[in-house]
Amino acid sequence: MMNWIRERRAGYGLHAVGVDEAPTLRVEQVTKQYAGHTAKAPVQVLAPVDLTLEPGSFTTILGPSGCGKSTLLQIMAGLVAPTDGTISLDGRAVQGPQPELLYLFQQYSLSLFPWRTVLQNVAFGVESRGRRSAETLDECRSLIERVGLKGYEGHYPWQLSGGMQQRVAIARALVARPKILLMDEPFSAVDALTREELQDELLGIWQEYDLTIVFVTHDFEEAIYLSQEIVVLKAHPGAIVEKRAVPIAYPRNQLHTRASEAYLALRHDLHELIFSLKKKPGAGVPVGAP
């Protein structure tokens, strides 16, 4: 696959950080508890979780609602502190937001500044890190073109569709030059056709920029289409119950990939597994409960 990635990247005239230069992200014995209401016991959101994200990989965290997927992703990003355990980048502890890590919120429309144009929103990704020059603005324009928004540089978020707003958010993330992109159900609020377009766009960006991507979704079909590996969580408390490699080569195609025997077999297995894990919604299990 790597030769194809390099060919795609060269075709766009892009120079990306090599996979061997990206850090390995490790999750080791991470747990999360939240205080219970009034005198109730603490709520165990995550049981001990161990996970290693290799450089250049695309991993999806999959599971039913309430299983702690988003909480785990926020802990990886350094936005939420674990109750116990560690997050590390090449052995260096993550104890807050890191320049190598970038978290892309589910509510992309709320992450964009309505008073800024598309170009100004994308430029915020470099301004917030102390980079601002004619060269970086040219980089912003190139990324806006790369995500299919050339000609919309002067538009405001409220003038764009949901899918276009998500493309702005992706361009702003890329201009910050992250090595690891953490994405929390980024396509859940768009229509089915736009979702497929964004999935293909994301695969192209992942391959061209040698990113490591951790993607959270509750949609097992999306997980199979995008990922190299799928990590399945159960709920109450959240814990890894299975890790599955996706035996489907890249590049992928919305029609042919989804009709392949490997895709259909894995879809069947995950469908059964996810539905077997579904439980009545709840806030979690009190610590120490049987």
Average pLDDT over residues 198-210: 94
Residue 172 lies in a domain: yes
pLDDT digits (tens, 9 = 90+) for 48-80: 999 999 999 999 999 988 899 999 999 999 999
Is the pLDDT at 12 greater than 90? The verdict is no
pLDDT at 15: 37
* Whether residues 137 and 233 fall in one domain: no
Residue 14 lies in a domain: no
- The alpha carbons of the chain give a radius of gyration, in whole angstroms, of 19
Residues 161, 221, single domain; the answer is no
Q: What is the pLDDT of residues 72-126, one digit of tens each?
A: 999 999 999 999 999 999 999 998 999 899 998 877 667 899 999 999 999 987 8
Residues 187 and 273 in one domain: yes
Asked if the structure places residue 255 within a domain, the reply is yes
Confidence of residue 279 (pLDDT cuts 50, 70, 90): low
Same domain, 153 and 271: no
Domain count, the chain: 2
Stronger pLDDT, 258 or 189, i.e. the higher one: 258
123 plus 138 within the same structural domain: yes
Structure tokens belonging to residue 51 = 């996970």
Q: Is 219 helix (H, G, I), strand (E, B) or coil?
A: coil
Q: Are residues 116 and 173 in the same domain?
A: yes
Q: Does residue 38 come out as left (phi exceeding 0), alpha (psi in the -120 to 50 range) or beta?
A: left
Q: Which residues pair with 242 in a beta bridge?
A: 232
Residue 43 lies in domain: 37-100+180-278
For 169, phi then psi, to 5°, come to -60, -40
Split at pLDDT 50, 70, 90, the class of 21 is low
> And the tokens for 94?
């993550």
Assign residue 97 a region (left: φ > 0; alpha: ψ between -120 and 50; beta: otherwise): beta
**135, 155, 177 - which closes a domain:** 177
In a domain? residue 133:
yes
Residues 83 and 189 in one domain: yes
Query: Residue 290 has what pLDDT?
Result: 42
Residue 5 scores a pLDDT above 50: no
Same-domain check for residues 52 and 129:
no
Q: Which is nearest to 21 in space by CA: 243, 175, 211, 254? A: 211
Share of the chain above pLDDT 90, in %: 66
| Domain-located, residue 23 | no
pLDDT digits (tens, 9 = 90+) for 111-169: 899 999 999 999 987 876 666 666 788 999 999 999 999 999 999 999 999 999 999 99
DSSP secondary structure string, 141-207?
A: HHHHHHTT-TT-TT--GGGS-HHHHHHHHHHHHHHT--SEEEEESTTTTS-HHHHHHHHHHHHHHHH
Among candidate residues 123, 145, 177, the one where a domain is terminated: 177
Residue 2 lies in a domain: no
Residue 114 sits in the same domain as residue 252:
no
Same domain, 80 and 200: yes
| 255 CA to centre of own chain | 23
Under DSSP, the state recorded for 23 is P
Within this chain, do residues 254 and 128 fall inside the same structural domain, yes or no? Answer: no
Give phi and psi for 56, each to the nearest 5: 80, 5
Centroid of chain to Cα 171: 14
